Chains A and B, each alone.
Chain A
Amino acid sequence: MSGEVALDVRDLHISFGGVKAVDGCSFEVPAATAVGLIGPNGAGKSTAIDLISGFQPPDAGQVHFHGTPLIGKSPHVISQLGLVRTFQSPREWGSLTVMDNVMLGLKAFDRERASLALFGLGKVKKQEDRDRVRVRELLDSFNLTAVKNLPASRLSGGQKRLVEFARIAAAAPRFVILDEPMGGVNPVLGERIGAAIKELVANGSTVMVVEHNLAFIDAVCDSVVVMAQGRVIAQGPYSSLRDNPEVVSAYLGEMDNV
């Protein structure tokens, strides 16, 4: 596991209506680490995430995930390969209960065949019940037991973020990309999220966190990739970036929580 490259991004390019959003973005993420992806607004971070996770085809470039090329594959195929991503706003399934939200995180794809709904439903339900025990533990570890039967739309923003993490934990992916997980989150919740990330890494997953909250990045991530104007301008441990003149000028005044 040490030394292995989980994600190898090479020279990604994409433009929208004449504007180059990602302009030759390249970086590597070592396995079983937590890596931060930071940069000023408009640097192309979220676009790069969309390109890596398959939600947007690039104009050029390649991405390798533990050796497997990702470009050209649909988002759900990439997810099945083990790369899960979140979105900037919590994307819970509002009309499902919290419990069902997390159950849907499990990699139980074969149980969801339409034919099984008619024949063999009993066996499927027994399999589900076995997983339900683990999911209850997960919900408990995120303090969601009290709301497990509520439709997810009724939760507060912070609770929705926790549901997302419970869902990720249920999916146990090899690689997780978190797109601004701290958006609208109070410090206590932030600590819980930080702990969740550390736990994911301890279990062998690789985590990439896109964030503006630099204190959080400093606390949680082993190294940081800095993007500006569609390109990676620096990569390395967070402490080394403070002295990097390119990084400082890219942020120019935005780095007040350093």
Chain B
Amino acid sequence: MTYLVTIVTEACIFSIMALGLNLIWGMSGDFDLGYYGYIALSTYLTIVLSDGPAQAPVQYVFGTSLPYPLSVLIATVVVVAVGAVVGAVALRGLREIYFALTTLGAVSALYIVVGVYTPLFNGFNGVSGLYNPMGTVLGIGYNGYHYFLLALSAVILVAVAWVVQRISGSPFGRLLRAVRDDEPAVAAYGRSVFWTKYKAYLIGVSFSGLAGGLFAAFLGSFNPTAWQPIEVLTLYAGVLVGGRGNVKGVIAGTFVVYIGFVELTRYLPNMPGHAEFAPALRQVLIGLLIILFLRFRPQGVFPERLGVDVGDSPGWATRLRRGPRTIKPELVGASVAEGDR
């Protein structure tokens, strides 16, 4: 039972990250390969803000023993500030592959600096010590803690999903998709492509801050072996498989990819003396998933849903109904039949 709770909790946390990517890439079209950097930064910060001062030989910054919710909040704010700088610089003039490579370069540099420069987050050994945060305050014992974390993660996931869903159905969301499809046309009609992308970027980065905070509570400790920039591909796989732009699809895709692969590799025979076989196979499958979906089903299992206009005579009170998953010709015929010439 504990195992199930753990898996679902982690899937919830990854789904929050995936929703952030959904805003940045799924709806806005910016292929950010550095996203895991924000997550890692937030996780590190949450831990070092909540921990007490560093005891030699361990070194890290802060160590301010703040209450956990405050640490998460500050970590998120810091991460959004970093994102604001990165976004301002990278989104201004870089698009597509240049943006992807720049973010990859930036996060790779961050990875090395974090691992080598020990005064920051204790270098390669990493930081630890975040043990069941808020547990004593709320009177939750060791046995019940994982239920609490599951509930907390689920609640934040629902809140984040609500935000993304609202954005998706709003004029702002429509503008984001237009920017994704054709930028010059958007500029020709009076909207600033940069500012539109920038806002979406900041919101998406803020989700990584929250997810990082939860991740810190989930793991309790963090070091460079716990994260590699390339793991962002697993998140992209979830978004791609589920359906980019579709909130429920993204969550479903992330759950399937994460839980499915964890379960799959659990039951695989492990080669004796070859401990890396199962994890490597998992990565191979993720890579295959990405390639196959990009080639044959780039819209994902649950494609983006278009809002359909159903009112048809002038002066009528209008309604915008959430359309079906794909616009089938017969459905278009149906709305035409509703009294037009």
Given A91-B185, A149-B335, A109:B317 Cβ within 8 A = no
- CB of B332 within 8 A of CB of A117, answer no
- CB of A76 within 8 A of CB of B174, answer no
Q: How large is the interface on B (under 10, 10 to 19, 20 to 34, 35 or more residues)?
A: 35 or more
Given A145-B336, A149-B327, A133:B314 Cβ within 8 A = yes
Closest chain A residue, CB of each to CB of B193? A76
- CB of A79 within 8 A of CB of B172, answer no
Q: Which of these binds chain B: A29-37, A94-102, A181-189?
A: A94-102
B312 to chain A, nearest CB (A): 7
- CB of A114 within 8 A of CB of B188, answer no
Does B306 count as interface, using CB distance less than 8 angstroms?
Answer: yes
- CB of B318 within 8 A of CB of A112, answer no
Q: Which of these binds chain A: B110-118, B125-133, B144-152, B175-183?
A: B175-183
Chain B neighbourhood of A133, CB < 8 A: 311, 314-316, 318
- CB of A96 within 8 A of CB of B178, answer yes
Chain B neighbourhood of A96, CB < 8 A: 174, 177-178, 181, 306
The CA-CA distance from A151 to B332 in the complex, in Å, is 11
- CB of B166 within 8 A of CB of A117, answer yes
- CB of B307 within 8 A of CB of A121, answer no
The CA-CA distance from A86 to B167 in the complex, in Å, is 28
- CB of B181 within 8 A of CB of A55, answer no
Does A215 count as interface, using CB distance less than 8 angstroms?
Answer: no
- CB of A95 within 8 A of CB of B180, answer yes
- CB of A147 within 8 A of CB of B178, answer no
The CA-CA distance from A172 to B125 in the complex, in Å, is 62
Near A by CB (< 8 A), chain B positions 272-289 give none
- CB of B171 within 8 A of CB of A112, answer yes
Chain A neighbourhood of B175, CB < 8 A: 104, 112
Near B by CB (< 8 A), chain A positions 53-90 give 53-55, 74-76, 79-80, 84-87
Given A79-B189, A133-B315, A148-B309, A116:B170 Cβ within 8 A = yes
Q: Which of these binds chain B: A122-130, A222-230, A235-243, A246-254?
A: A122-130
Does B269 count as interface, using CB distance less than 8 angstroms?
Answer: no
- CB of B306 within 8 A of CB of A91, answer no
**A contact set with B: CB distance below 8 Å:** 53-55, 74-76, 79-80, 84-87, 91-97, 99-100, 103-105, 107-109, 111-114, 116-118, 121, 124-125, 128-129, 132-133, 136-137, 145-151, 167, 171
The 9 listed contacts between A and B (C-beta, < 8 Å) are A76-B189, A76-B190, A94-B182, A96-B178, A112-B172, A121-B166, A129-B311, A149-B323, A151-B306
